[in-house]
Each structure stands twice: as structure tokens, then as C-alpha cells.
Amino acid sequence: TWGEICADLEKSIGKNNFVTWISPLKFDRLQDRVARFHVPTTFVGNWVERHFSDQILDHLTRVGVDVERLEFSVRSDKGRQTTARHAQPAPKPATAIGGDLPGAPLDGRFTFDSFVVGKPNELAHAAARRVAEAGPVTFNPLFLYGGVGLGKTHLMHAIAWELRESSPQLRVVYLSAEQFMYRFVQALRERDTIGFKELYRSVDVLMVDDVQFIAGKDSTQDEFFHTFNALVDQNKQIIISADRAPGEIKDLEDRIKSRLQCGLVVDLHPTDYELRLGILQQKVDLYRVQYPGLAISDGVLEFLAHRITTNVRVLEGALTRLFAFSSLVGREITLELAQDCLADILRSSERKVSVEDIQRKVSEHYNIRLADMLGPRRQRTLARPRQIAMYLAKKLTTSSLPDIGRRFGGRDHTTVMHAVKRVEELRSSDAQIAEDVEMLRRTLEG
Ligand code: ADP
Ligand code: MG
């Protein structure tokens, strides 16, 4: 029985771990070789899944239970409906929306409510909101792009949740480009491409995440292109995401690139300090609902927002780990504890690019002298590289606009701002510049 297994588990993982993580589990049932448990919060579920799955499976098998994997779900008790939305795990079936539609499940945490808006993502957020209003189609497709962990998937799920709530009759399908390909290949294998075509061409809203994935995959691209056109012709909303602008996706057919550019293209910029702090604060508020006792000082949050600049997922992971660690060892979360417990994360996000590196690399690339880049001359052969360097300094470092201005021979912050805007425009209108910037960014960050 589960009770006996618990006794064994307690021995193997220690009393502390057991009390914190295993005791809150309630064994629900075993079905199709899946052992299901109720957990009090998503957080506990995730933690147990990540750290104790193997041991639990091991103990279950040892006493002869035929089980292949574990599943944890939050029991929804009615009194706490308000927080349930955040606390719910991802709804399980792939048919989460639209009956038997071929979409991927949505993550219950990815809603507009839980999306923190700041300067770097306000445009993307506004566009997503607009599309989620389900009025007449205004821009088609909506193309969201940006680096890893900046909230593309979150926004797409939020749109789907919103539409599902406001217009349950709409057939909304969300899936990754990889899943799209996988299903297409499956249809090919089963000689049912007609069924595939009919299925995807009959939806009302199609969202394809990480479309860069189909670059170089010719027949999938072809199918995607036709699906895309069929839906646009019927005036159905399409929402696409990618890790870069349409024009910058290599090995993507030109006809697809230009189709993708027809609607609204918005990018999610790297997070700034304020946005990171906002996201952390929101997370803390959520945790507080689950763990009223947990305390974390603003100082620690500021420290995290300052030091972990790469991607929001890492930032969230750091906070989760801090909470787990502090509740395990029963210690208050201090700066020292944070430094200890997050040493690896902090170290890996240290690989910072400096403004000097950028100036050096850019002047090398364009074969101009560093002194000229920093100097007063304004001829185009100098001004363009200078603008690109300023742009990269803004994007890749945490320096402020005035700070960057100062380091470029004492220029004004408005000059830097103008440069950033200009390069942004050029990136979508000038393929050469787009490529240069991308290349420079890669060598600097690599
Ligand atoms: P992407 O798809 O762009 O790689 P995700 O949408 O998966 O990124 O986001 C990574 C994680 O960061 C998710 O847990 C998401 O909820 C969180 N996140 C990103 N941006 C925000 C934001 N503005 N507010 C709240 N959470 C965010
Ligand atoms: Mg994503």
C-alpha cells in the first residue's frame, strides 16, 4: 500500500524531505500504468516530480506495482477558486480546447493575469490583447518574436485562454511548429494528408509556436504555407512566434517570409531591470498565497533582478529554488543564502558583454578605427557602425542610455535612443544590416 511505501521512502530520502514533500501527497489511483497523486499546490507537484519521481517509481515497482510514470494534479477545492487558475497544473488532454482539435495542451499558469507588462514587452502584450478580443481580424498574422524565455509562449497561451473563455464556440488551436511537423509526417505515413489538411484548415484561430523550427524542412514548410494561405483567405486569425524576425530566419522560403511579414510583426525585447523586478514580485505574491510564512526581502529580489538578466525562465527557477531551499533547511532567505544556493546560476549569467567589447568588435567588423567610432565625425561610414554598436550596447548590456552615450565619446542619451530606433527599423528593412547585427550579436554573446 501507499502507506508502506511511504515508510520506505522516508528511510531513503530522509525525514525532512519526506515531511516537506511526500507527506502532502495524496495517492489517488493507478490507471493505465500511471499513478496519480493529488498535491496541495503546483509548486509541490513540480518539485516532487523533478526530485523524487525516480525514487517513488522505484519503490512502487519494488512492491510489484505495474507503473510507468507519475502524475500530479492539484485538487481543486472550491474555497480557493480565485487562486486556482495559477495553481492549476497544465490541463492534461491535448484536446484542451475545441473538442477534438489537434492542438497542444495549454499551461494554466500562462494567462494575461500573470503576465507582467513592462517597456520591453508592452507592444507585444497590447497586440496579443487585441487579437484575444476576437473581434474582426485586424492584423493577420500576428508575428511575435524574441529571445528565449521572454514570454512568447506565455502570451500565446494567454490568448488561447482568453478566447476559450470569451468565445467557446471558436476552434482555437495552439501547437508548436515541431508538433505541426510531427503530425504532418504522421499523416504522410498514415496516408491521410487529406484529413490533416481538412483538420488544420477548419480552425478559427491557429497559433504556431517557434516557427523557426520548420526552416529547412521543405515539405512541412510547403504544407504550412498552404494551411496559412487557406486560413488567411477565410479571414481566420493566425498567430505565429519565432526566436527572430521573419526576414532573419535562415532556410525559410521567401514566400513564407513575406507572408509572415504581411501582418503585424512585434518583438519582445530583452527584459530590463524593472520588468524583472516586477516579475519577481508577482511570483512572490503567488507563493505567499501558498506559503503564508515565506519571507523574502526586497534586497534579495533586487539582487536577483540585477544579476540574472538572461531569461525569465532562469529568473523564476532561481526564485523557486530559493523558496524550496529555505523551506527545506528552515532558514530565512537572506542575501548570503541566495548567493550560496544560486551560485551556479549566478556564475553562468555572469558571462557579460561589455560596452568596450561591443565597440571593439563592431569597429573591427566594419574596418573602422575605434577612435573614429567614438569621435565626433558623422559621415555615414562611421555613423552607421556607431549606431549599430550603440544598439548592441543597449540590447546586450545592462547599461542605461545616458551611460552608453557617455561611453560613446560623451554623446547625449537621445542620440543613443535614436540609434536604437534606427537600427531596429533597419533590421527589418535592410537584410544586410539585419545579418550583420545578428552575426555580431552571436559572436559577442557566444
Ligand atoms: P518563450 O516562449 O519566449 O521562450 P515563455 O513564454 O516560455 O518564453 O516564458 C518563460 C517563462 O517566463 C514562463 O514561465 C513565463 O511565464 C515567464 N515569463 C516571461 N515573461 C513574463 C512576464 N512578462 N510576466 C510573467 N512571466 C513571464
Ligand atoms: Mg516558447
pLDDT tens profile 103-122: 888 888 899 999 999 999 99
Q: Give residue 214 CA to ligand 1 midpoint distance, Å.
A: 22
Mean pLDDT for all residues in the chain: 86
Point out the domain boundary residue: 251, 268, 285: 268
Q: Give residue 155 CA to ligand 1 midpoint distance, Å.
A: 8
Q: Please, what's the b/e burial string for 233-255 (b: 16 or more CB within 10 A of its CB; e: otherwise)?
A: eeebbbbbbbbbbbbbbeebbee
- Nearest atom (ligand 1) to Cα of 278: 24
Q: Give residue 189 CA to ligand 1 midpoint distance, Å.
A: 35
How large is the ipTM?
0.99
263 and 330 part of one domain: no
344 and 359 part of one domain: no
Residue numbers in the known binding site for ATP are 149, 151-153
Point out the domain boundary residue: 243, 268, 293: 268
Within-domain flag for 109: no
Q: Pick the residue whose CA is nearest to atom 21 on ligand 1.
A: 151
Lowest model confidence (mean pLDDT) among 78-82, 257-261, 302-306: 78-82
- In whole angstroms, what is the distance from residue 305 CA to residue 303 CA? 6
Point out which residues pair with 267 in neighbouring strands. Answer: 145
Is the pLDDT at 54 greater than 70? The verdict is yes
344 and 407 part of one domain: no
As for how many domains the chain has, the answer is 4
125 and 234 part of one domain: yes
**Angle at alpha carbon of residue 309, lines to 304 and 310, rounded to 5°:** 130
- Nearest atom (ligand 1) to Cα of 148: 4
Q: Using CB atoms within 10 Å of the CB of residue 424, give its burial: 0 to 12 exposed, 13 to 18 middle, 19+ buried.
A: middle
258 and 282 part of one domain: no
pLDDT tens profile 274-290: 999 999 999 998 887 77
Q: Pick the residue whose CA is nearest to atom 13 on ligand 1.
A: 313
Is the pLDDT at 7 greater than 50? The verdict is yes
Within-domain flag for 213: yes
CATH number of the domain within which 28 lies: 3.30.300.180
Q: Which residues contact 128 (CB under 8 A, 6 or more apart)?
A: 112, 142, 144, 155, 156, 158, 159
- At 94 the pLDDT is 36
Nearest ligand, measured from the Cα of 268: 1
Nearest ligand, measured from the Cα of 150: 1
Residue that wins the pLDDT comparison between 50 and 376: 376
- Nearest atom (ligand 1) to Cα of 282: 25
What is the best residue among 121, 313, 314, 320 to mutate for testing ligand 1's pocket, by most ligand atoms within 8 Å of CB? 313
State the angle between helix axes of 431-445 and 413-429 in degrees (0 to 180), rounded to the nearest 10.
120
Nearest ligand, measured from the Cα of 149: 1
Identify the residues whose C-beta falls under 6 Å from ligand 1: 110, 114-116, 121, 146, 148-154, 279, 312-313, 316
Long-range contacts at 87-92 (CB < 8 A, ≥ 24 apart): 87/41, 87/42, 87/289, 87/290, 88/42, 89/42, 89/45
390 and 291 part of one domain: no
- At 93 the pLDDT is 37
CATH number of the domain within which 190 lies: 3.40.50.300
- At 347 the pLDDT is 77
- At 79 the pLDDT is 37
pLDDT tens profile 387-409: 999 999 998 887 889 989 999 99
- At 61 the pLDDT is 85
Q: Give residue 44 CA to ligand 2 midpoint distance, Å.
A: 23
CATH number of the domain within which 400 lies: 1.10.1750.10
Please report where in the chains the cell 485562454 appears, as a residue: 161
pLDDT tens profile 345-393: 887 776 668 898 899 999 999 999 999 999 999 999 999 999 999 999 9
Q: Give residue 160 CA to ligand 2 midpoint distance, Å.
A: 14
DSSP state of 20: I
Looking at the chain, how many residues does it have? 446
- Nearest atom (ligand 1) to Cα of 155: 6
- At 234 the pLDDT is 93
Point out the domain boundary residue: 220, 236, 268: 268
**Domain housing 43:** 2-75
280 and 390 part of one domain: no
Query: Grid coordinates representing 68?
Result: 510507468
Within-domain flag for 235: yes
Is the pLDDT at 195 greater than 70? The verdict is yes
Please report where in the chains the cell 577612435 appears, as a residue: 371
Q: How confident is the model at residue 100 (pLDDT cuts 50, 70, 90)?
A: very low
- E strands, 210-324, are 237-242, 264-268
143 and 237 part of one domain: yes
